[in-house]
Every structure is written in structure tokens, then in C-alpha cells.
Structure 1
Amino acid sequence: MKYVQGLMVVCAAGALSACGSGDGFSLPTLDGKPALVVAHRGAGGTLPEETVEAYARAIEQGADAIEPDVISTKDGVLIARHDPNLAFSTDVAQHPEFASRKRKLSVDGELQEGWFASDFTLAEIKTLGGISTDAERPQEFNGKFKIATIQEVVDMIKKSGRNIALYAETKNPTFHRQQGVPLEDRLLALLAAAGWNDRSAPVFLQSFEPGSLKYMRGKGSTVKMVQLIDADDVDLKTGALTFAAPYDRPYDWAQAGDKRLFSAMVTPAGLAEIKTYADGIGPWKRYIVSVKGTVGADGKVADVNGDGKVNEADTTSQPASTLVADAHKAGLFVHPYTFRNEARRLAADYKGDPKAELKQFYALGVDGVFADFADTALAARAEYLKQVGY
């Protein structure tokens, strides 16, 4: 990914209030409306992610959309879970009745050991409890809340009485086809049964694999679709994105022998290609604003804050790329991921304030944000809109 020096043509963060006019500030989003706040995996920052309770909390917080990752059980029921491997986010290891189910399986070319959802019926999965996937987040709820089905998430949205969107991701779609439980047709059928099968539906469908989105388009779906764009990490010495399997390219590209990296998607040609089957992009936020550390005399990235660890808290944010403007020029909206509150995830120039990072992205014209703490993203948006006189 090639970064340009200099911000997009937006008002400087410190002088946003000067950008207003008598008619109010013209927002730099694609449609001129305030950016959406998407509750990433529900209220994943405070409760075990993708549980019924986490989605209920996100709705209470006022999120504009709630995001489930879509995987399938053995009996073909779609559930909300980030990983097919249940070892990562459930207490399955504490269930001796399932000890014999533990096995090794290749997921997108990566050999994993654990318990896989496609080996369990929904009834069995409903006996498991979700656990926090971040050691710095509350652990007292581990095992207490159950995994949500996608139907339950739909029902919660409908019962809320609010205009909330379902922002669903087909997770590891090639893997699910290999396991004999493909996702797309079941997801489209579920949406059709909800009456959410046209352009005006409160639905976004997203995937890292272009083939999944293209398949659903080919089945006649006109709901809003989003191409996710990943990378492996950031080289903190240079600020450049790094690419290593399985985060280097879409897995369906890898299966087809397509050698392009995810970075090919953010070129003008890549964006034009995405526009043929999707309405927007969901890039890792480092494609828009990367971070860079300080290299010490030993050639290593310095622990600037002296906490004994080297992470994003020891970095500074870099000049923004042109990706938002490029995507808008191609007619695509931009929903970067994932905004989080932990200090270790915030560049030093944000001074420990997650709202400072969010307001920078709002000023750059992103059309939505994925946030683990939707309440923080909503508060930052309210402050930004007030500051610019919207």
C-alpha cells in the first residue's frame, strides 16, 4: 500500500469549527450524512462477543448497525461467531462431553486444533458459553452467555422498534463449502423470510472473499454488499502494511491461484472491480491511517512509554492515504475496522483518548466505523458533528 504525504482535503482537526457555513458543515461522506456506527460483534468491548446479551447491549447503546459473523452448525443453522474454531471464543474446552470432538483442521490454509462448529448441532452449541477474547477486557461473564443465532439477531432488531441494520459477514465461506455447510443460500433465505431481500432492506452483507459476494449477487440479491480488505500487520519501523498468509489475500483468490494481495483492492483498478459487485469497502483502518514507531540505536522499535511492551501506544499516526477519496470517486462507501478503546491500541498522539482517533476518521470522510465500544464511537460522532456545526 502506497501512502501519500498529506491529508485528504478536509479541515484540520484543530480547526473543524471554522469549516461550517451558515447552512452547517457539509460532511465529507459519500452521501453527506453522518457516519454509521456499527457495533462490532455486538458490545464486544464489555461482554463476551456475539452473544445474545452482547447484541442487546449494543442495541441499548444506540448503535446504527449490529454486526454478526456468520458461521454454520453441523445441522445447517447459521450462528454468530467470529471463528469456526469454538476454542477461541467459547468454554467448549470445559465441557468433558465434547472432549472427543477435538481435532485438527485446516481453516483457510492454516492448521488449527480445537472444536469446530460444523461438528456440532445447534442444540449442542447452545450448551456452550461465550468467553472474552481479550485478556484486558472483563472476564467475569465468561461462560454465562449463550451464542446467538443469526435468526435471534434479526428478531432482536425487529423487536427494538429502531431503524437498526443487520451487518452480517459470511465467515470463511470457502471453508464452509469444503465442510458441506455453505453459508450463502441459507443466509439469503433467512433474509427473504425476514422481508429483507431488496435494496431498501436494513442489511449489509460483507465478506473477505469476493466470490461469496458475487455468488449472492448472482442469486439476485440487491441488498448492500461490502468487500472487506485485510492485511497481516504494520511494520512499526516503516509504517508499511505487511502481508502474510492467511491475511495476505482472499482465500478464494489463493484457491484459484490469484497471486494478488489484498492491497490490489485499494488501487483505482481494484476499486473499480469491487464496484462491479459491491457497494462499499470495509478496509482495515491502517489502510487509511497507519502508525509508525521510533527506531532505537539497537535497530529495534523503541518502548517509548516505558511500559515494557512495544505496541501501538509507542507509535505516532501517519499522514492519511487517499483511500477514502479514491473509494468515493469510484462510488463506494468506506467502513473501516476496528476501533477499540484500549490504550495499547491507540497511537501516542491520541493521548489515550479513543474518541480522538474516531474523530480523525470522521473528519477524513469515512461513511461508517466498526467499533467494539459503540457507545464511544457514538459519543465521538456527536462531538465531531457539534464541532463542525452539522
Structure 2
Amino acid sequence: MPGRSTSVALLFIAALVGGEAAAGPLVDRPIIIAHRGASGYLPEHTLEAYRLGIRQGADFIEPDLFLTRDGKLVALHDDTLNATTNIEALAATRPDWFARGRDVGGRRLYYVFDFDFDEIRELTARSRGTAGYSRPGNGFYDGTEPFRVPSFAEVLEVSYDHFRETGQVVGVYPELKFTSALPPADGLAYLRAMADATLAELADPRWGGFFDGSRGNVFIQSFIPAVLQYARDLTTLPLIALTFTLPNGAGFPPVPTCPTTPEAAAALASFAQGIGVNAAAATEACIAAAHEAGLLVHVYTLTDRAEDYRLFLERGVDGIFSNHPDIGVGVRNALFPVPEPASLAILGAGLFGLLGVSFARRGSGAVTR
């Protein structure tokens, strides 16, 4: 969004001149990201959930991505279809589908990459129903609706159509998902193929350049550094390194942990422009170290407690992944009012300065923000 990008520009330029990191967020208005859509109200990763997230004021909608057997990008969080579709019921009546299931830990699992897109379109999407996620009968749906698993192109269309109809830019924040069901080498090849397909879809001419990064409306995220390092050489779109730290301070190999030292933050800044941090690890030390390295900090995942949003916004995060975007937007707007139009124009000049510095550094091989 305009406020997010332009603020980063001015603060970055000020840091170059003054040699000090700015206190608080690196942005004038932290963003609210509709996590899997408005997934606290409607089944996750459905077009209806994305549209609701936009209506509730989210700045970005977030699709998790996997590739189907025939190479189509679909929006799903899990590498299996079990938790959020009716695959088990349909496979019980379809011997060819049942045969593609894999017995893992005493359960038959159906992996996304073992099915073609048209087959996945026959499924009904549903909520996983765990804490923080939607449940039928909540006033938003009753459980009989024929929700479908969308393609990435359909998710982009939601954002693009909203812009064409209203003039409002709502960004997309795709995640390149990994799977442990494939051997490491195959898993990395799968991720690279997903990155290629994602960038190709974002650059498709039918969007008229809407997702080329010039509007500050695209982030690409992953837990796996190797795929971000691969994408870094293919795109100038900002990359977000997802991190995970357990409450006892342990990591989650091969996922990076939240940086609390200049060295750790600099390592992430060598291939990413920001980090995604699980809420339990989004400490003042982590946020400060990331900001010192010029990294944006987006925390995940908050639900329906307004006090949680206030806590992290006051710690200085630059964005929040939310299952209940309306709550996050309400708290954010109270703490960070909409800038005056004149201020946005001034900030816009700073953005172009930042982009010039960033591209120059990227070309020289130096560490970028």
C-alpha cells in the first residue's frame, strides 16, 4: 500500500544520512494481512474468504501455494487435502483416487501434487475448524455452501477486479509452501518450479502490470531460504523470510529463527527484504535487530483479541497476519490514522529514492534491504 512503501523509503534514506535506525515500525502505517483470507469467519483459502478480507479493510490477502500434478498453482495451506476438503469421502467412492493416497502414520493422506487441478476442483473446501478458524453456524456460513479450492490466478483476479472496480489497491502475499513428503532434492525442485510459476503468473499480461511491484502490492514469502535465494535472482519483488522459534528458544530446522543479533539479521537481509515472525518469538530484541538490518517485520498469526494487535503494533511491527482482519484493521487505524494526501505525496518521492538505491545495490551484488 502507498503508506507502507513510502514510509520505508523515507526512513531508509534517513538512516543512510543519519546512520541511526528509526524507532518503532519502518512504516508509517503497519499493514494488516488477511491470513488465508478472513479465515476466522469463512473457510480458509476460498475466494469468499479473500473477498471478505478485502471488505473488512485488509491491505493484503495471503494465499499459500502448492503445485498440482499438472502444474497448476492452487491456494492451500497443507500439502495434503485431508484437513480442508472432503477428499476422504470422495476417495472412498473413487478407487483411482483412493489408490493415490499414501499411508502415513496410520492414516491415508492425499497430497496436492498427486492430483490434477480439475480433480481438486471437484472437492468441496471447508474450514479445519481448529481454534482461531471459522466454524459453520458462526453467522457467516452454515456449512452447506459449495466452496471450492481456488487457483492462484483466481486469487489474483480478486485483487485485480477490486482495483478496477474501486481504484483501491489491495495487495497479494503468496507463500511458496514446502512439503516434507518429497525427498530433499525433489522438494527443492518442486519449490523452484513453484517460484517460477508464481512469478510467471504475477507477470501475466492480462494483469496489465498490476502485480509488477510498482504499487508496493506484492510480497513473496517462504520458510525455506534456498527458494528465496533462488527467487532473488529472478525478481525485484520484495521477499519475506519466514522464521519460527519455539518458546524454549529452539529452532525448527531448516527454517531460520527470529534474529536477535546483528549477524543473524544481516544473514537474512542478504536475500530478503523482511521477515515473518511467529507471535511467540516477536520480542523487542528480534524486532530491533531486524529493523537495524533494514528488515520489515510481519508477525503471524493473530485472531480475535484486540489487545494482541495493540501489543505487537506498540512493539513496532510493520505488519500483522490476521484471521480476523476487521479487528486488526480497527486497532491499527486507531493507532495509525490514515495519512493526509499531502503527506503521501511527499512520501512518494522518498519511495522512488529507495527503489533506486535498492536496484543499484541489487545490481552490484551488495546486501539489500
> TM class, shorter-chain normalised?
0.7 to 0.9
**Cα deviation, residue 59, structure 1:** 1.3
- Residues 355, 324 of structure 1: alpha-carbon distance in 2 compared, 3 angstrom cutoff: same
Name the residue aligned to 1:188.
Answer: 199
Identity %: 30
State which of 207, 210, 225 in structure 1 corresponds to 2:239: 225
Distance in 1, matches of 2:79 and 2:36, equals 15
Confirm or deny that 1:145 pairs with 2:137: no
Q: Given the alignment of the two structures, is residue 278 of structure 1 paired with residue 280 of structure 2, yes or no? A: no
Q: Structure 1 residue 178 and structure 2 residue 190: aligned?
A: no
After TM superposition, give the deviation of residue 45 of structure 1 in Å: 0.4
More displaced 10-residue stretch of structure 1: 325-334 or 264-273: 264-273
- 2:80 paired with 1:76: no
Note the alpha carbon deviations across 1:119-163, whole angstroms, 9 max, x for none: 111111011111211245313336720011110011110100221
Question: Which structure 2 segments of 5+ residues have no match?
Answer: 1-21, 137-141, 338-342, 344-369
Q: Distance in 1 between matches of 2:285 and 2:196?
A: 36
Are 1:212 and 2:191 counterparts? no
> Aligned equivalents of 1:134 and 1:186: distance in 2?
30
Instruction: Tell me if structure 1 keeps the 8 A contact 2:243–2:258.
Output: no
Q: Which has the higher helix share?
A: 2
- 2:254 counterpart residue number: 250
Residue 154 of structure 2 aligns to which amino acid in structure 1?
Answer: E
Answer with 276-285 or 195-204: which moved more: 195-204
Q: Which moved more, 1:155-164 or 1:191-200?
A: 191-200
Preserved CA contact (<8 Å) 1:47 1:141: no
Counterpart contact for 1:44–1:54, Cα < 8 Å = yes
| Secondary structure at 2:240 match in 1 | strand
Gaps of 5+ in 1: 1-25, 235-239, 252-261, 289-319, 342-353
Question: Hey, what does 2:286 align to over in structure 1?
Answer: 323
The answer to whether residue 26 in structure 2 is matched with residue 30 in structure 1 is: yes
- CA 1:88–1:366: 2 relative to 1, 3 Å: same
3-state SS of 1:153 partner: helix
Q: Which residue of 2 aligns with 1:56?
A: 51
CA distance in structure 1 between the partners assigned to 2:215 and 2:232 by the alignment: 15
Q: Is the Cα contact below 8 Å between 1:27 and 1:34 reproduced in 2?
A: no
Aligned match of 2:331 = 380
Alignment match, 1:86 = 81
Cα distance between partner residues in 2 of 1:43 and 1:336: 16
Deviations 1:201-247 (A, max 9, x none): 5110000001111111122x00011000013x43xxxxx3444xxxx
- Check conservation: 2:258, 2:277, Cα contact below 8 A: no
Structure 1 residues 86 and 375: alpha-carbon distance in aligned structure 2, compared to 1, 3 A threshold: same
- Contact 2:36/2:62 (<8 A) preserved: yes
Q: Give per-residue Cα distances to partners, 1:311-362, cap 9 Å, x unaligned.
A: xxxxxxxxx4311111111101100100012xxxxxxxxxxxx111111111
- What one-letter code is carried by the residue in structure 2 that aligns with 1:78? L
Provide Cα deviations, 1:74-113, integer angstroms capped at 9, x if missing partner: 11000000011111211111102233322136xxxx9974
Closer/same/farther in 2, CA of residues 264 and 379 from structure 1, 3 Å limit: closer
Residue 183 of structure 1: how far off its partner (Å): 0.6
- Give 1:331's aligned amino acid: G
Q: 2:172 aligns with which of 166, 174, 177?
A: 166
